[in-house]
Amino acid sequence: MNLAELNKVAQAMVAPGKGILAADESSGTIKKRFDTIGVESTEDNRRDYRELMFRSNDAMKNHISGVILYDETIWQKARDGTPLVEVIKQSGAIPGIKVDEGTKPLPNCPGELITIGLDKLADRLAKYYEQGARFAKWRAVIDIGPGIPSFTAISTNAHALARYAALCQAAQIVPIVEPEVLMDGDHDIDRCAEITEFMLKETFQQLYYQRVALEGMVLKPNMAISGKKSAKKASVQEVAERTVKLLKDCVPGSVPGIAFLSGGQSDEEATAHLDAMNRIGGLPWKLTFSYGRALQAAPQKAWAGKTENVANAQRAFSHRARMNGLASLGQWKADLEKKAA
């Protein structure tokens, strides 16, 4: 393992003013997204849609440091025959790859999940490296509900995340470690913070046991936030303060950067939260975005599967990328959104 090189890639992934585009929706998830805009999920449509983002010059050159791809996309060619990986590299962004193989029910833990894909991961990583991937992603899912999460789910998923991270570094690939505590329930911000703290503590303990070099990874956590169905919605300032406190308690300063998932927050909320955290300042790591939905909802709607809408969709994507780029510097303002609208 060349740690200096891993650290260089990790630093580039969280470069000031930039963040990561999560475009790694599985076939099932992208179909769901396309259903809402009335587009059939064919291989060509998936290619066309992702190509339009990767060719959004303003977004890609100025605000996107890296793109997480799904297996299908890393082997795909643009309409003109250029490999999509090349299109991404030409923009200056780094190609990355989702390597987990989704989730399965966790035995003896009703309603809980374990992320799978460790078997043969070393072989797959070598192929992805050859194809141009310099970082990877693995997502663990922890749900909050009556009686859950169990310690079994937390420790088993943290263990798998650390196994994955160690395998990535051995393959000279920077692991994005994503322990996602879902915001789907009716729990309040206190409960989210309590479970997220537990999951992060356990994750870093497992990373230590498995000798993962923290300088060569990026953490992708959820924020401390109220559940979507909570009766009590925490304010932007409260989300920012609670999240920063939690991260300071759990994430060693040798981790170069933290790139949040959006997890079902609205576009503007995800931006406002990131901005408010960066305004707190004095943090040991970079704080930026690794958003899927909060970057893509607007361009998907603008595109709606029509060639004549491509330029509009690219503008919508570039706008969100710019807003989040500003938020990564603590320089976003709500009226920038209105001006664009």
* Residue 125 within binding range of ligand 13P, rule CB under 6 A: no
Using omega within 30 degrees of 0 as the cis cutoff, is the peptide bond preceding 149 cis? yes
Beta bridge partners of 96: 68, 135
Q: Tokens for 312?
A: 């509009």
Place of tokens 């160690």: 166
How many residues touch ligand 13P under the rule CB under 6 A: the total is 10
Please give the residue whose beta carbon sits closest to ligand 13P in the complex.
292
Whether 268 is a known active-site residue: answer no
Closest distance of CB 202 from ligand 13P, Å: 19
Catalytic residue among 25, 178, 180, 202: 178
Best CA proximity match to 257, nearest among 292, 205, 215: 215
Residue with smaller CB distance to ligand 13P, 2 or 286: 286
Best CA proximity match to 22, nearest among 222, 293, 269: 293
Whether 220 is a known active-site residue: answer yes
Closest distance of CB 110 from ligand 13P, Å: 23
Residue range at the interface with ligand 13P (CB under 6 A); choices 35-43, 101-109, 196-204, 291-299: 291-299
* Residue 124 within binding range of ligand 13P, rule CB under 6 A: no
Dihedral angle at the C-alpha atoms of 214, 220, 226, 230, nearest 10 degrees? -130
Q: Tokens for 275?
A: 């901005």
* Residue 139 within binding range of ligand 13P, rule CB under 6 A: yes
Q: For strand 103-105 and strand 113-115, is the pairing parallel, antiparallel, or unpaired?
A: antiparallel
Residue range at the interface with ligand 13P (CB under 6 A); choices 2-10, 42-50, 127-135, 288-296: 288-296
Residue with smaller CB distance to ligand 13P, 55 or 139: 139
Place of tokens 């192929």: 127
CB 270 within 8 A of CB 291: yes
Closest distance of CB 3 from ligand 13P, Å: 25
Question: What whole-number distance in Å separates Cα of residue 201 and Cα of residue 194?
Answer: 11
Residue range at the interface with ligand 13P (CB under 6 A); choices 34-42, 111-119, 150-158, 285-293: 285-293
Binding mask 160-199 for ligand 13P (x = CB under 6 A): ------------------x---------------------
Binder of ligand 13P out of 216, 221, 256, 263 (CB under 6 A): 263
Closest distance of CB 223 from ligand 13P, Å: 11
305: CB partners within 8 A, 6+ apart: 34, 37, 38, 39, 40, 45, 49
DSSP 8-state class, residue 71: H
Closest distance of CB 200 from ligand 13P, Å: 16
Closest distance of CB 178 from ligand 13P, Å: 6
CB 221 within 8 A of CB 179: yes
Q: Tokens for 301?
A: 């709607």
Catalytic residue among 18, 98, 137, 220: 220
Q: Which residues bind ligand 13P (CB under 6 A)?
A: 22, 139, 178, 261-263, 291-294
